[in-house]
């Protein structure tokens, strides 16, 4: 006998959800929780449509979907029956009229750790002065870039052999890196990834085993720390002097060392040639690999850029990492790494296994943008603009904050550090600045272990001189309270 459906089905024609979907979901729920027992039969589609005052097609659509998913058994000339043999979901207990909180899957150690991490900085919200690491999207040649994207999309077609890394972009990058960054590479050594962060994580996966020691500058880049920790490495913060990593008297034998020698993150200091050579000798003696993150090395303002670590290395120990998001737009989240020749095939396989792939259309558009000279022209123009903004930031902070900070103009890059002259809580200061409409990151949050300095990490590249002046006045006002 057909089971009555009173109290089980309650359709609402005023909802945006189609009636067929409502009927499907309510029947599925009643079957899953046992209100409609296994073996019972539903009314015929004609009868059910009449009872619910809906069309027979609507009923048939819901019944067909439930049958396809295994909830109902249907046969020609017979009413649908609740399928037998499937395991019902346990009933969630109800306490004081409220359903219990849904069960939460057990988290890994890594997931529990990132929940307590300071990176990325969550309180910043929408970009505003002085968020670090941002290019000025208002100065980007959007029309030219759009034409490159359109042409790449039009010319996209199935190919017999598809590589993950487009040769045109590899060749364009190789020419640029050899000429402007002193990198030694063949095009096939360049692995293109969805971001510099993805690149760092990929290198860590390939080079580290659980428990291996990895060195990171302290203060340093939080994104590198979480990538190394994701590989279950033992991350050790190495203190800095004015030349970079202090290697003397270190007893550990690291498997991997992460450095930012062109513009140390976050201090902006340049690692001189003698310290670079010392670091390469150390890596050769200990057998360590090096990640050279050249995240904003395209922008250099004072003197001549020092040759890349990778270009100085003759042993194949350095992974050179770069990104388009700083030189072009934050939305162009494409990174790359130059890997040693002996590891090209390993990285291509690892890239595929981890899904670190970039759209071929986007790669082709980037290749055209570089080949046409637009990339180099944009960097030249932004270097002039950012140099002026750096100088304006230094002047404005000096004028508005008096003696509250020591500001060391960086030789390049997109941000600077204003060190507190007096010992104060830079985290609390950043919170107060955020409430006043200015974004700053606390220098102390970039340390691994105990912070030895306090200050503000401030970006200048994305902000006009007027915005810099206004933001500096806010900093001066908040610090003067």
Domain boundary among 376, 411, 445: 376
- pLDDT the model gives residue 394: 97
Residue 285, strand partner residues = none
Check residue 94 and give its pLDDT: 53
| Average pLDDT over every residue of 19-37 | 90
Cβ count within 10 A of residue 266: 26
* Other C-beta atoms lying within 10 Å of the C-beta of residue 6: 8
The position carrying tokens 């670190």 is 356
HSE (CB half, 13 Å, CA atoms) of 37? Answer: 6
Give yes or no: residues 147 and 286 share one domain.
yes
448 and 309 within one domain: no
Q: What is the mean pLDDT of residues 412-438?
A: 93
pLDDT computed for residue 212 by the predictor: 97
Q: Residue 305 corresponds to which tokens in the numbers above? A: 């850029």
Domain with 270 in it: 140-156+163-376
Asked if residue 268 and residue 397 are part of one domain, the reply reads no
Neighbours of 351 (CB within 10 A): 22
**What is the per-residue pLDDT across 282-340, written as a single tens digit (0 to 9) for each?**
999 999 999 999 999 899 998 777 779 999 998 999 999 999 999 999 889 899 999 99
* 177 domain residue, yes or no: yes
Tally of structural domains, the chain: 3
Strands of the sheet with 213-218, listed across from one edge: 190-193, 335-338, 318-323, 289-293, 256-259, 213-218, 234-241, 244-245
Between CA 459 and CA 177 the distance in angstroms is 25
Answer with the one of 62, 77, 97 that is the final residue of a domain.
Answer: 97
**Do 169 and 363 contact (CB within 8 A), yes or no?**
yes
Asked if residue 248 belongs to a domain, the reply is yes
The answer on 397 and 312 residing in a single domain is no
Domain with residue 329: its CATH number is 3.40.640.10
- Give the separation between CA 78 and CA 63, rounded to whole angstroms: 13
Name the DSSP class of 181: I
Mean pLDDT of the chain, nearest integer? 90
Shared-domain flag, residues 337 and 292: yes
Residue 116 belongs to some domain of the structure: no
Is 92 within 8 Å of 99 (Cβ atoms)? yes
Residue reference for tokens 């162009």: 332
Closest among 414, 413, 427 to 455, alpha carbons compared: 427
The pLDDT value recorded for residue 422 is 85
CB-CB contact of 416 with 408 (8 Å)? yes
- The count of other CB atoms within 10 Å of the CB of residue 415 is 25
Pair (218, 330) in one structural domain? yes
Is there a domain that residue 118 lies in? no
Domain limit, last residue, from 361, 376, 391: 376
Residues 14 and 37 in one domain: yes
Taking residues 174-178, report their average pLDDT: 96
If pLDDT is split at 50, 70 and 90, which confidence band does 97 have? low
Say which residues have a Cβ less than 8 Å from residue 117's Cβ, sequence separation at least 6.
222, 225, 226
> CB neighbours of 35 closer than 8 A, spacing ≥ 6?
8
Same domain flag for 387 and 371: no
* Percent over 90 (pLDDT), the chain: 73
Same domain, 404 and 424: yes
Is residue 348 within a helix (H) or strand (E), and if so which, with residue range?
Answer: helix 344-354
Is the distance from CB of 246 to CB of 240 less than 8 angstroms? yes
The DSSP code for 139 is G
Domain containing 53 — which CATH number? 1.10.10.10
How far apart CA 4 and CA 471 sit, in angstroms, is 69
Q: Pairing mode, if any, of strands 455-459 and 98-99? A: unpaired
Higher pLDDT, 118 or 465: 465
Please check whether residues 279 and 413 belong to one and the same domain. Answer: no
Asked whether residue 67 is domain-assigned, the answer is: yes
Look at residue 105 and tell me if it is in a domain. no
- Decide if 33 is inside a domain: yes
Give the Å distances, CA to CA, from 417 to 49, 362, 383, 397. Answer: 71, 34, 19, 11
Residues 309 and 201 in one domain: yes
Out of 19-23, 106-110, 120-124, 290-294, the most confident range is 290-294
Any domain includes 102? no
Distance between CA atoms of residues 418 and 454, nearest Å: 9
Closest CA to 224 of 448, 33, 463, 419: 448
Q: How confident is the model at residue 249 (pLDDT cuts 50, 70, 90)?
A: confident
d(CA 388, CA 394): 10
pTM exceeding 0.75: yes
What's the pLDDT at 22? 92
Here the tokens at position 354 are 């981890």
Verify that 394 and 315 share a domain, yes or no.
Answer: no
């Amino acid at each position: 006998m057909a089971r009555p459906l009173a109290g089980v089905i309650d359709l609402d024609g005023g909802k945006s959800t189609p009636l067929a979907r409502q009927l499907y979901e309510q029947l599925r729920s009643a079957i899953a929780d046992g209100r409609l027992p296994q073996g019972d039969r539903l009314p015929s589609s004609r009868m059910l449509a009449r009872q619910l005052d809906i069309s027979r097609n609507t009923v048939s659509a819901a019944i067909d979907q439930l049958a396809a998913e295994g909830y109902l058994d249907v046969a020609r000339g017979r009413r649908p029956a609740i399928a037998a043999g499937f395991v019902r979901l346990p009933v969630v207990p109800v306490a004081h009229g409220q359903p219990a909180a849904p069960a939460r899957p057990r988290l890994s150690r890594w997931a529990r750790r990132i929940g307590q991490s300071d990176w990325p900085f969550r309180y910043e919200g929408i970009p505003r002065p002085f968020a670090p690491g941002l290019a000025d999207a208002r100065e980007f040649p959007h029309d030219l870039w759009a034409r490159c994207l359109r042409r790449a999309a039009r010319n996209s077609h199935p190919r017999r052999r598809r590589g993950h890394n487009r040769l045109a972009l590899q060749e364009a990058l190789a020419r640029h890196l050899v000429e402007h960054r002193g990198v030694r590479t063949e095009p096939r050594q360049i692995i293109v990834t969805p971001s510099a962060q993805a690149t760092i994580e990929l290198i860590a996966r390939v080079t580290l085993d659980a428990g291996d020691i990895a060195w990171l500058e302290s203060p340093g880049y939080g994104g590198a720390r979480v990538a190394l920790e994701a590989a279950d490495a033992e991350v050790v913060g190495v203190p800095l002097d004015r030349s970079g990593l202090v290697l003397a008297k270190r007893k550990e034998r690291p498997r991997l060392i992460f450095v930012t020698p062109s513009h140390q993150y976050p201090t902006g200091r340049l690692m001189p040639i003698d310290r670079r050579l010392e670091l390469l000798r150390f890596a050769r003696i200990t057998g360590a690999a090096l990640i050279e993150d050249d995240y904003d090395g395209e922008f250099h303002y004072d003197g001549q850029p020092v040759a890349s670590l990778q270009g100085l290395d003759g042993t194949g120990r350095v992974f050179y990492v770069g990104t388009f998001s700083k030189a072009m737009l934050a939305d162009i989240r494409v990174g790359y790494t130059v890997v040693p020749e002996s590891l090209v095939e390993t990285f291509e396989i690892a890239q595929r296994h981890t899904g670190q792939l970039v759209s071929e259309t986007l790669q082709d558009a980037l290749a055209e943008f570089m080949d046409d000279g637009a990339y180099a022209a944009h960097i030249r123009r932004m270097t002039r603009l950012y140099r002026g903004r750096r100088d304006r930031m230094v002047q404005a902070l000096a004028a508005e904050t008096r003696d509250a900070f020591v500001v060391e103009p960086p030789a390049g890059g997109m941000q600077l550090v204003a060190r507190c002259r007096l010992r104060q809580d830079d985290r609390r200061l950043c919170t107060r600045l955020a409430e006043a409409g200015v974004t700053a990151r606390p220098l102390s949050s970039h340390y691994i272990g105990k912070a030895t300095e306090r200050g503000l990490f401030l970006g200048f590249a994305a902000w006009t001189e007027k915005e810099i002046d206004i933001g500096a006045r806010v900093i001066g006002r908040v610090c003067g309270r």
